[in-house]
Chains A and B, each alone.
Chain A
Amino acid sequence: MNIKELAENIGLEKEEYLELVELFVETGKSDMDKLQSAIDEKNVEKVATASHSLKGASGNLGFEEIFEVAKKINDEALEGSLKGTPESAQVLKEKLNAIASLLLPDTNIYIK
């Protein structure tokens, strides 16, 4: 599927779509940082906030897989659990990186 089709899927022009994806990856990167440090600190509330942000944005742009993983983390955190979170966070990171390399090959906003 090419970029134009992806953009049209959610009713946007290609340029605008790319602009929003870039914003998504940027904020996603900072959300991932927050998520990572929240996991290290075992701070459930912070995990919930960061995953909520990722969930909302991925839902907006129709990134279903990211949405589902972020939602899983968020739901767990709201219940006070961080059991599956480190693994899920790893999956999230990979998917975000995949989107970045696929859709924004010219940028270098990757998540380490």
Chain B
Amino acid sequence: MEMKKILVADNHPLMLKYMTNLLEKRGHEVLTAQDGLSALDILNDFIPDIMFIDLIMPNIDGKKLCKIVRRMPALKHSYIVVLSAIAAEELEETANLAEIEADAYIAKGPFDKMGKHILAILNRSDQKASTGHPGEIIGLEDIHSRQITKELLSARRHSKGIMENIDEGIMEIACDARIVYVNSAAVSLSGISEEKLLASNFVNIFHEIQRQELRALLESNKPSLQVFTKDSPALLNGKELELRILPLKEEGRKSIVILKDVTEEKKRDVQIQRALKMETIGTLAGGIAHEFNNLLTGIQGNASLMLLNTVSADPDYKRLKNIEKMVQDGSTLTSQLLGYAREGKYQVRSINPNKLVENTSDTFGRTRKDIAVHKELAGDLFMVEADQGQIEQVLLNLYVNAADAMPGVGSLFLKTTNVTYKDIGTEHHRPKPGNYVKLVVTDTGNGMEEKTRKRIFDPFFTTKEIGQGTGLGLASAYGIIKAHGGYIDVESEKGKGSSFKIYLPAVKAVVRDQGTVIREEHLMGHKTILLVDDEESVREVSQELLETIGYNILTAKDGKEALEVYKKYRDTIDLVLLDMVMPNMGGSKVYDRLKEMNPGVKVLLSSGYSINGEATEIVARGCNGFIQKPFSFKDLSQEIKKILNNGQ
């Protein structure tokens, strides 16, 4: 028999010693390794003819070692013999036979019997070319009587089952940072096969920029380190991972690494952050709009009063008209802010969204003839409960944006369909169950980059030149849709157009009366009104306005005064014009007190905020109406007249 190169890998020194004696005595060259990892080290520059591999070893067990070795081209012709008591036990069960990639198996047992089998194998390995297929089991008949119970095997499979089924990736790392164990989650997280992972350097599987840090971390060997957290995750295979490194006290300087995929979780966090930001800015925007509306009311009122005394031939007439026009523009701006602040839900009624699309696209089509509008409207569309004016505003904002993105020529596609909440994209965390109407506005414009797309719903975000865009269009659209319990979403790619999708919750169809139309003229009255507002300018100008058209006016500067005045003149007061937001005693409380004094009291609420939860609630409690500041002369007189005429 010619001299052979032999590698023996077994964790027991006794076995190594015996094998060395046995084989060297017969002139073979023998190298030994106490674990899988050192066996692989030896195999770097030693090509054995035969390998004897123990199944149970630390740092990469025999089964995995076989698997790795089988995939090393240099070792193609090496003959692999598995050497294990466990091998025999498991092989009796035959379940794992096919999984172990060896040429032959020798069951461990008394040395005399084992020795004979080993020498027999040595001869045989000459003739039999290495196939990589499981070979035969030798020596089973000689093994100590062994009652392997099913439970024994199942106990081991139990803990293996846990490791293989948890979501976290688990890796065991030897002191030189090489990987010696991976569970299947670790394989799928890294996207690298088990054979490749085992024995490779743990640090090197991560992104280059993080290797230095990881190396230092492993070397420091402090207990339970969690340096790569959700906020500064490790990057692997395009995923963001949280890493926890647990050094094992007992086994030299080995560590266990737990890898947790936080990619999805981080996405969710960003969504929550975003929602919070919108909320905060919304509150701020609402506050500013409120103050602003009070100012506009003053300006509007003064201008209206002056116009009453000015003939149209007067040179100031045009200027005053201009002031009124600019106040209107200012008020559009604040209403967008209020829309964003999600306080804009006012006149809610059931409407068919197709009608909104028809109305707005007609208006829009007339102004932008260069854009072809294509409509695809569902015939049996659900109704939605919405503020018509606001949703129309949203749609117009979208059209204008689309037009801006298609200078010269382009097409606008408008589509409505019925969907359920399941059809709403994943970008929205858990839409409320139910039916929705989906409105899609698609353009063939120049689209957006990812960076832009992420910010378009932020208030004041605009890519347009200063003076061209306020950046409030989409912010208010977002607020309005949200206030309607809906969702708005965008899909866009640079150069490929954009598609905005709106989802509004559907309601059962109930068509309500649209209300009586009031003639467009100043409506004179001869009644007494109590005017309650903490803003002196608002009080003054409203008083003058209302007096001009024939009302008697009493005023109060806060809630307390209002109650005193009402108590004194309750028989003469026909209506209370009540501001919502006042220091000390707000409109809501004042309303309740008035109601106590006189259940039939007529109250018109006014506020610089548009109708919000509180105002809606007061209206629901029986308050007669709501008017938003800045109110025009006409609006105010109409609203008052409407209330006074009712129930008379």
Contact = CB atoms under 8 A, between A and B. Distances in A.
Interface string A44-83: 0000000011011101111010010001000100111000
A24 B156 contact: no
B108 interface: yes
A80 B17 contact: no
Interface string B1-21: 000000000011111011001
Residue among B13, B15, B108, B110 with most chain A CB within 10 A = B110
Contact of A10 (B17, B21, B112, B155): B112
B155 A59 contact: no
B155 A80 contact: yes
A16 interface: yes
Contacts of A33: none
Nearest to B85: A56
A19 B22 CA distance: 13
A75 B155 CA distance: 11
Interface residues of A, number: 26
A27 interface: yes
B334 to A, nearest CB: 70
Nearest to A81: B155
Given A55-B85, A59-B85, A16 B110 contact: no
Given A9-B112, A11-B111, A12-B111, A24 B14 contact: yes
Interface of A is mostly: helix
A20 interface: yes
Contacts of B156: 78
A78 B146 CA distance: 14
Contact of A61 (B56, B110, B146, B151): B110
Residue among A20, A24, A27 with most chain B CB within 10 A = A20
A98 interface: no
A93 to B, nearest CB: 18
25 contacts: A9-B112, A11-B111, A11-B115, A12-B111, A12-B112, A16-B21, A19-B17, A27-B12, A53-B12, A56-B12, A59-B85, A59-B109, A59-B144, A61-B14, A61-B111, A62-B111, A67-B144, A75-B149, A78-B152, A78-B155, A78-B156, A79-B151, A79-B152, A79-B155, A80-B155
State the 6 A-B residue pairs at the shortest beta-carbon distance, nearest first: A11-B112, A10-B112, A10-B111, A57-B14, A62-B110, A78-B152
Given A60-B110, A61-B14, 9 more contacts: A11-B115, A55-B85, A56-B85, A56-B108, A59-B144, A60-B109, A62-B112, A71-B144, A75-B149
